[in-house]
Amino acid sequence: MQHCVLRKYLVKNCVSVLDPFCGSGTALHVAQEIVPNIHLVGNDINPLAHLITKVKLEGVSTRIKKDIENVIQKLNNFHEEVSLHNFIRIDKWFRSDIIVSLSKIRQVIINVKNKRNRRYFWYIFSNLVRKYSNSRSSTFKLHIKQTEKIEMMCNEVVADFCARIRSDVEYFIHKPANLSLHKMDILNLLPSLKDNSIDLTVTSPPYGDNATTVTYGEFSWLALNWIDPRDLEMEGWEISNSHIIDSKSLGGSRKEKDIVCSPEQLMLLNEFTIGITKEKRKKVEHFFADYFLVLSHIARITSKYIILTLGNRTVDGVKISLLEISQRHLKNNGYDIEAIYEREIVNKRIPKTTSCVNGKCVLSMNDEYILIAKKRNVF
Ligand SMILES: C[S@@+](CC[C@H](N)C(=O)[O-])C[C@H]1O[C@@H](n2cnc3c(N)ncnc32)[C@H](O)[C@@H]1O
């Protein structure tokens, strides 16, 4: 989908693309496939997202196949003493034999000299951390599995790792992209970017605060505790607890900045929040104060197109149309709506119905929209 859309709107004279909430870097990767030398600017607050995007876009070194065989050989002939890794509540989230296996792999990865290859190994490792943890795979939150399920898990960690580092590598053998990648709160990055300095912005922003929509930070927390911090871009606060990334994300409860909606923005929002309880309405307004600020900066920085993948969430049974709200905000900030595409969300981890309000099941986000906005009077 991203490919079809970007192929159409990445016009020939586009030399730069921004994804301010790049996650695992999918959109930037697609942009690079279409225009190989394009300048990619990415950002995400989550260090795991940053690492994955870096691996995807910078790829591996030419000696990766040698490194893979060395790593496999070391793991299959492991005679050193295992230095058991430890972090807060590790015993809750991993069985003791799994801790031994993951610690072995960790020890071997740390000794890989080439940074790009090491990052590739961490990326594969991070998937196995989640797979072999005691947390359920049906949710983004950390939620302990039933005891029988934990006991039934088969420890194939090392074999699985060895197979995957061989099978997945082909996707990462390519030239490094022309990439400027940041790991920060987007509200701190955007003010430093100049007016019209980016040709096209493509992103899928959060649909609400992470804690009540998708807990990207909590989802990454176990992996972030296992990966060597020297290979992660971190400011220091990121793994202090499992909720901190989510609470510092858009619309979160961070205290240091108190961004509020302007009277015009509140008027726009009011139309969509009638029927929501006062307490939840405050939370929604808090999220949109951040969201409007980000969108206004993006509108200023972008010179041609803004492409947003958006979902409409439901609060207290009231549908909040992020699509409609974003359209109106962009129109007020110098853009015309060029097209809107709709699609069903595939591979959803969140159930189709979530909470019950007044005895009725509430639909969660099932459809996504791609909103394409074009800057007025530029070409
Ligand atoms: C919907 S996801 C993007 C998914 C992405 N398109 C992909 O393919 O992986 C939203 C992303 O925004 C990030 N995020 C949330 N608040 C942020 C903030 N204040 N600054 C930077 N990134 C933030 C989250 O960590 C998450 O990765």
Lowest mean pLDDT among 84-88, 185-189, 349-353: 349-353
- Looking at residue 178, what is its pLDDT? 97
Pair 129, 222: CB distance under 8 Å: yes
- Looking at residue 362, what is its pLDDT? 47
Residue 133 alpha carbon to ligand 1 centre in Å:
24
CA distance 223 to 102: 11
Stated length of the chain: 379
- Looking at residue 214, what is its pLDDT? 86
CA distance 334 to 297: 12
For ligand 1, atom 4, the nearest C-alpha belongs to 23
Residue 365 Cβ < 6 Å to ligand 1: no
Ligand 1 pocket test, candidate residues 188, 193, 216, 233, most atoms within 8 A of CB: 216
Pair 97, 153: CB distance under 8 Å: no
- pLDDT tens column, 112-123: 999 999 999 999
- Looking at residue 179, what is its pLDDT? 98
- Looking at residue 254, what is its pLDDT? 63
Using pLDDT thresholds of 50, 70 and 90, give the confidence band for residue 67. very high
Residue 366 Cβ < 6 Å to ligand 1: no
Residue 26 Cβ < 6 Å to ligand 1: yes
Residue 148 alpha carbon to ligand 1 centre in Å:
35
Residue 322 Cβ < 6 Å to ligand 1: no
- pLDDT tens column, 218-234: 999 999 999 999 999 99
Structure-model confidence comparison of residues 109 and 1, the more confident one: 109
Contacts of 49 (CB under 8 A, 6+ apart): 22, 23, 24, 25, 216, 220
> pTM score, two decimals?
0.92
- pLDDT tens column, 114-160: 999 999 999 999 999 999 999 999 888 899 999 999 999 999 999 99
- Looking at residue 361, what is its pLDDT? 46
Average of per-residue pLDDT across 284-288: 93
Distances (CA, A) of 63 to 160, 165, 212, 216, 260: 22, 14, 44, 33, 51
Using pLDDT thresholds of 50, 70 and 90, give the confidence band for residue 211. confident
Residue 246 Cβ < 6 Å to ligand 1: no
- Looking at residue 353, what is its pLDDT? 47
Rounded to a whole number of angstroms, the CA Rg of the chain reads 22
Residue 162 Cβ < 6 Å to ligand 1: no
Looking at the CA of residue 207, tell me the nearest atom of ligand 1. Answer: 1
Lowest mean pLDDT among 93-107, 130-144, 186-200, 341-355: 341-355
pLDDT of 350 > 90? The answer is: no
- Looking at residue 335, what is its pLDDT? 98
Residue 100: HSE in the Cβ half-sphere, 13 Å Cα cutoff: 8
- Looking at residue 290, what is its pLDDT? 95
Average of per-residue pLDDT across 5-18: 91
Residue 23 Cβ < 6 Å to ligand 1: yes
Residue 310 Cβ < 6 Å to ligand 1: no
For ligand 1, atom 13, the nearest C-alpha belongs to 21
pLDDT of 88 > 80? The answer is: yes
Looking at the CA of residue 203, tell me the nearest atom of ligand 1. Answer: 6
In order of their start, the domains of the chain are 2-56+177-209+249-375 (3.40.50.150), 64-172 (no CATH)
Using pLDDT thresholds of 50, 70 and 90, give the confidence band for residue 8. very high
- Looking at residue 101, what is its pLDDT? 98
Residue 242 Cβ < 6 Å to ligand 1: no
- Looking at residue 4, what is its pLDDT? 92
- Looking at residue 379, what is its pLDDT? 58
Average of per-residue pLDDT across 28-55: 97
pLDDT of 359 > 70? The answer is: no
Ligand 1 pocket test, candidate residues 21, 53, 257, most atoms within 8 A of CB: 21
Using pLDDT thresholds of 50, 70 and 90, give the confidence band for residue 348. low
Residue 151 alpha carbon to ligand 1 centre in Å:
34
Pair 20, 43: CB distance under 8 Å: yes
- pLDDT tens column, 316-331: 999 999 999 999 999 9
The distance from CA 45 to its chain's CA centroid, rounded to whole angstroms, is 8
DSSP string, 233-291: ---S-TTSSTTHHHHHSTT---SS------HHHHHHHHHHHTTS-HHHHHHHHHHHHHH
Residue 219 Cβ < 6 Å to ligand 1: no
Residue 250 Cβ < 6 Å to ligand 1: yes
Residue 128 Cβ < 6 Å to ligand 1: no
Ligand 1 pocket test, candidate residues 52, 249, 294, 368, most atoms within 8 A of CB: 249
Residue 121 Cβ < 6 Å to ligand 1: no
Name the average pLDDT for the chain: 92
